[in-house]
Structure 1
Amino acid sequence: MTTNLEEEYPEAAQYIRQAVAEHGEAWVLENYYEQLYPLGVVMAMPEKEELPFYDEDDHETMTEAERVEMYQAWGEYRENLRTGTNPGE
C-alpha cells in the first residue's frame, strides 16, 4: 500500500492490508463493495479506485447509485430474514 493511503485512511489501510494478505489483491478488488467498503459506516474508507493496486483498464467500480441500490437490497433481505417474510408480502 502506498504511504498516501496509509496517511489518508490509517484505520482502513490496516483492514485492506489484512484482506490483501489473506486473500490477495484480486479478491479485494472483486469483493471490495461487499466486504470492505461497508466499514465506511464506522471509519473513513477509500473509494475502490483509490487503492494502489486498482487499474482502471482491468477493473470496474460501481456508481454511487449502484451502491445505494445494492445496500438497499441487502437491507430488505436482512429485514425479510428477521421477520420471516417473503418479498412482496
Structure 2
Amino acid sequence: MTDTLADEYPEAAPYIQQAVEEHGEEWVLEHYYEQLYPLGRVMRIPEKDELPFFDPDEHDTMTEAERVEMYQAWAAYRENLRTGTKPDE
C-alpha cells in the first residue's frame, strides 16, 4: 500500500492491505464493490480507481448509478430472505 493511500485513508488502508495479502490485487479489484466499498458507511474509503494497483486500461469501475442499483438489488434480496417472499408477491 502506498504511503499516500495510507495517509489519505488511514482507517481503510489496513483493510485494503489485508485483503491484498490474503487474496491478491486482482481479487481486490474484482470484488471491491462487494467486499470493501461498503466499509464507506463507517469510514472514508477510496474509490476503486484511487487504488495504487488500479490500471484504467485493464480494470473498470462502476458509476454511482450502477452502485446504487446493485445495492438496491441486494437490499431487496435481503428483504425477500427476511420475509420469506419472492419478488412481486
TM-score, normalising length: structure 1: 0.99
Are residues 1:56 and 2:56 paired? yes
Q: Residue 2 of structure 1: CA displacement?
A: 1.0
- Within 5 A, what are the aligned runs for 1:3-22? 3-22=3-22
Distance 1:88 1:52 in 2: 43
Distance 1:68 1:45 in 2: 16
Tell me the equivalent position of 1:71. Answer: 71
| Paired amino acid for 1:3 | D
Q: How many residues align?
A: 89
Q: Deviations over 1:18-70 (max 9, x none)?
A: 00000000000000000000000000010000000000000000000000000
Distance 1:13 1:38 in 2: 14
Identity fraction in percent: 76
- Any idea what SS the aligned residue of 2:12 has? helix
TM-score, normalising length: structure 2: 0.99
RMSD, aligned CA: 0.4
Structure 2: stretches of 5+ with no match in the other structure:
none
Distance 2:78 2:84 in 1: 10
